[in-house]
Amino acid sequence: MVDPEAWRAQAATSACRRRYEPTGQVLPGDCQAGPGEACMAGPDIEVMSLGLVSFRAGLVGQAEAAARVREGTRVGILMALRHPPVITLGRRAAPEELHMGPVALQSLGVDVYPVDRGGGATYHYPEQAVVYPILDLRRLRLTVPRLLAITGDAVLEVLRSVGVEATWDPERPGAYVDGAKVASVGYHLSKELTTHGVAVNLGRDLRGFDYIDPCKVRDQPIASVEGLTGTCPDPDATALALANAIAARLGDSPGS
């Protein structure tokens, strides 16, 4: 039986833990765009840094970004952000992958959302860097395997920058250190347009993963940058760095 107060007390011990408040759009420091605008990371590609937003707001933001990309004004919009504790269930998730009921999880402050991406269950938390690349693969002339390779290269680059040497497994898409998963990826593709994306674990409070079979793997070891290095990089800065690393590689694609 999980003690909610023990959960919250232990969560507060992470060096990465801060009293983050939900934020509006925050743009890179060298961006000269006005309020509500985004910086261009390359030809027709935007990067938006949003800070901590609810998962529901993130879904709404993805839908709005997808509508803009479908209109043809952009080939891609990358959303860098973080979420309060939430478990998401992909289209292939089975009931047994969730080890606790939604009511018990909500008593711990963890929401549960079914989503349209592929794969099974995963967990998001505030000390995790998340990027949602909303991309028109047709105009970028990208295949899904190439997008996954770009994502993996960007994740490994960002992890190296914070002192973690990981490997990317294309068969089980994600970044691993000695078999422990430190980053996960899960895209949804509809009419050549992607939503959802990639998450990198920064803070070491990973207990939310104990309540699921991460990406359909029972007892999958999970790692974090803080657990591996003893320090936790700023989650917002890391999410933005990851978005920029993906965008730079998209800018080198044939259709950009």
> 232 an active-site residue?
no
| Residue carrying the six token digits 């794969």 | 119
User: Residues 203, 233: contact at Cβ < 8 Å?
Assistant: no
User: Residues 203, 14: contact at Cβ < 8 Å?
Assistant: yes
227, HSE (Cβ side, Cα atoms, 13 Å): 18
* Angle, alpha carbons 212-176-145 (nearest 5°): 95
Which residue of the set 16, 31, 215, 232 is catalytic? 215
First-to-last CA distance in the chain? 52
> What is the DSSP code string of 8-23?
HHHHTT-TT-------
Residues contacting 19, CB < 8 A, separation 6+: none
Active site residues: 215
